[in-house]
Chains A and B, each alone.
Chain A
Amino acid sequence: MRKAKVYMDTIVDIQTVTQKSTIETEEKINRAFQAFQKIEQACSRFSHTSECMQACQNIGKPVEISPLLFQPLFFALEMARLTDGLFDPTVGKLMEENGFNRHYLTGEVMKSSCTESVTFRDIVLNPETRTLLLKKPLVIDLGAVAKGFAIDLAAQELKDLDGFVINAGGDLFAGGLNEDGKPWQIGIQHPYQNNRFIDTVEISNEAICTSGSYERKNHEKVDVHHLVNPKTRRSPQEWISCSIIAPFAMMADALSTISFLLGSEKSKSFIEEFNIKGIMVTPELQIIQTGGI
């Protein structure tokens, strides 16, 4: 069975391989889709009514937030600490300024108030009370983790099936085996040619996420895309695409973004330290595989 819906400004496609009844399978797929709906409602920075944007109205006072927001934010802050702010969920305002400010369904344009300089250190999470405290007005962007987290939650719903793939616009988790009882073959998009792969990988019970600069660009400024280094406020151009294979989609999602931002020199050792696999592509189409693919 295969179904596709739209969440988080992308097409989420779920396909399954199973002997279970249509009704049972459909129910599981619907619950998997719900994970995307809920995470979007919790984490979106494109809607004033999302839990995240609501919580960000409160400055200097702790507010309780749901695990749907707390968990991906916690993960993002840990990644921010690890990378000393190269990965930083407070880039929301910068993203808005770069033109990534429009809700894909409603067309609503966000114009948030934000202090000049903010970093992840202005966000304080308390795991005991599950509260969020903002030291300054800022816009939280969970773009690099929320979709991955939704994929992981969706995978949890489908884990009893013989096989499944949850593909959220190119970030995906492949569970079990395909119709032929083999690992899933996943093509990696060629950055310049729509109808070609640049590589293929075989995975099972793993996620693969790709961060690439070739799809989401600023329409006015040629060198600005949706991946931005918060320190330089620029979009790096050393890679054109970074794919990461990891046990969880949230990990693959964040780490593909980080590898992209780290650039060619540092990303290889970073990936090796994580014991994961990466396939990076330079603008000249040189392919670099790392982590024992």
Chain B
Amino acid sequence: MGKMDKKWIILCSTAVAAVYSAGYYTTESQAANNNNQPIHQIAKNVQAKQYTLNGSKANSDQTNNGPQVSFGVTPNANDNNTVSKAAPVNSSQKSSKYKNGTFTGQGMNRRGMMQVQVTIQNDKITDVQISSWGMHYSESDVVGLPDEVLKNQSSQVTNVSGATYSSQAFEDAVQDALNQAQNTAG
């Protein structure tokens, strides 16, 4: 019986090759990939939104009158976002909604918290890196976790295939970072 896989394998490898032959991976600058911020670049007051215990977000707007949630992170941070010196003020800066820079945000649900670093340039999110993950997940939940969480848990299964994992906690974390990035003046 004629197997159909050949045609599709060729289609896939041609597709990959086509992207490379177009030079997309040699010409692009990596300017937007500046991600050398220290992990605990956390603002003194994590401007926490209201969280309910079941992990859902109680309010998604940007008022900050909810209870302050402490995550036990050392408050050694400075409030100023690190990038101001790298980004010369230009005219478009005036009307921008967010400051340029890398901002750390946190999200939590009943199993723990996660931390992301959101990089913003000219009001666009250019990068979101998971900087720490304190979720008390069991082994099979360890999808996309930094080393320290993994350790050597009982077996070699460190990866899981499953329906696309979606997490309110990560949306919350990104929103938290955006709140900190928001230009308050004007």
Chain B interface residue bracket vs A = 35 or more
Q: Does B163 lie within 8 Å of A214, measured CB to CB?
A: yes
The SS class assigned to the A binding surface is mixed
Q: Does A169 lie within 8 Å of B164, measured CB to CB?
A: yes
Please list the residues of chain B having a beta carbon within 8 angstroms of any beta carbon in chain A.
1, 3-5, 8-9, 11-16, 18-20, 22, 24-25, 28, 30, 33, 116, 125, 127-130, 133, 137-141, 143-147, 150, 155-167, 170-171, 174
- Measured in the bound complex, the distance between the Cα atoms of B15 and A267 in whole Å is 25
Please list the residues of chain A having a beta carbon within 8 angstroms of any beta carbon in chain B.
2-7, 9-13, 15, 30-31, 33-35, 37-38, 66-68, 70-72, 74-75, 78, 104-106, 149, 152-153, 156-157, 165, 167, 169-172, 174, 178, 180, 182, 184-191, 194-197, 200, 208-216, 241, 243, 246-248, 250-251, 273-276
Q: Does B160 lie within 8 Å of A251, measured CB to CB?
A: no
| Chain A residue nearest to B114 in the complex (CB) | A11
| Chain B residue nearest to A7 in the complex (CB) | B128
- 20 residue pairs of the A-B complex, CB under 8 angstroms, read A2-B146, A4-B133, A4-B145, A5-B128, A5-B130, A6-B129, A12-B144, A33-B33, A34-B28, A67-B19, A75-B12, A105-B125, A169-B144, A169-B164, A186-B157, A189-B140, A189-B163, A195-B138, A197-B140, A275-B5
Asked, given contacts A5-B127, A30-B33, A188-B162, whether A66 binds B4 with beta carbons under 8 Å apart, the answer is no
Contact with B162, one of A31, A34, A38, A215 (Cβ below 8 angstroms): A215
Q: Does A215 lie within 8 Å of B163, measured CB to CB?
A: yes
Q: Which of B12, B141, B157, B163 has most A Cβ within 10 Å?
A: B163
